[in-house]
Amino acid sequence: MGQNQIAHSQEFQKKVLQWKFYILYNQIYKMNYDLNESYSSIEEVDRYQDIKEININIKKDYNFGLEGAIGIQQGLSYFKEIQTLSLVIGKNNKINNSVTKILGQTIGNFQLLINLNLVIEQNDIQNGIFDLLNPIQNCSNLQSLKLLIGNQNQVKDQLLITLSQILRNLTCLTNLGLIIDDGNLITQRGLTHFSEGLKVCLNLLKFEIIFGKDELNTEGLLALKDGIGALQKLSHFAIETGPWNNIQSNGCLQISNTLQKLKQIQEIRICIDMGNQISEEGVQYLSIAVLSQQQLLKLSITFGRFNKIGYKSVQLFFKNLRCCKNLLQFQCYLFCTGNGILTSSKVNLQIQLNHIKQIVSKNLCLIW
pLDDT digits (tens, 9 = 90+) for 229-243: 999 999 999 999 999
Residue spans per domain, the chain: 235-368
How confident is residue 37, by pLDDT bands cut at 50, 70 and 90?
Answer: very low
Q: pLDDT: is 214 or 6 the higher one?
A: 214
Tens digit of each residue's pLDDT (9 = 90 or more) over 68-112 = 888 888 878 877 788 999 888 888 888 889 999 999 999 999 999
The CA distances from residue 81 to 22, 48, 146, 214, 347, in Å, are: 19, 10, 20, 40, 56
Contacts of 62 (CB under 8 A, 6+ apart): 68, 90, 93
- Segment (H or E) for 195: helix 188-198
Record the pTM.
0.87
The CA distances from residue 15 to 29, 66, 72, 176, 267, in Å, are: 21, 27, 18, 28, 35
pLDDT value of position 47: 54
Mean pLDDT of the chain: 85
How confident is residue 11, by pLDDT bands cut at 50, 70 and 90?
Answer: low
How confident is residue 307, by pLDDT bands cut at 50, 70 and 90?
Answer: very high
How confident is residue 25, by pLDDT bands cut at 50, 70 and 90?
Answer: very low
| CB-based contact 244:210 (threshold 8 Å) | no
Q: State yes or no: pLDDT of 51 exceeds 80.
A: no
Q: 97-111, 251-265, 335-349: lowest mean pLDDT where?
A: 335-349
**Overall average pLDDT of the 307-326 stretch:** 93
Distance in angstroms (rounded) separating the CA atoms of residues 110 and 77: 9
Other beta carbons within 10 angstroms of residue 61's beta carbon come to 9
What share of the chain in percent tops pLDDT 90? 59
pLDDT value of position 46: 55
How confident is residue 3, by pLDDT bands cut at 50, 70 and 90?
Answer: very low
How confident is residue 49, by pLDDT bands cut at 50, 70 and 90?
Answer: low
Distance in angstroms (rounded) separating the CA atoms of residues 256 and 305: 21
pLDDT value of position 215: 83
Class of domain 235-368: alpha beta
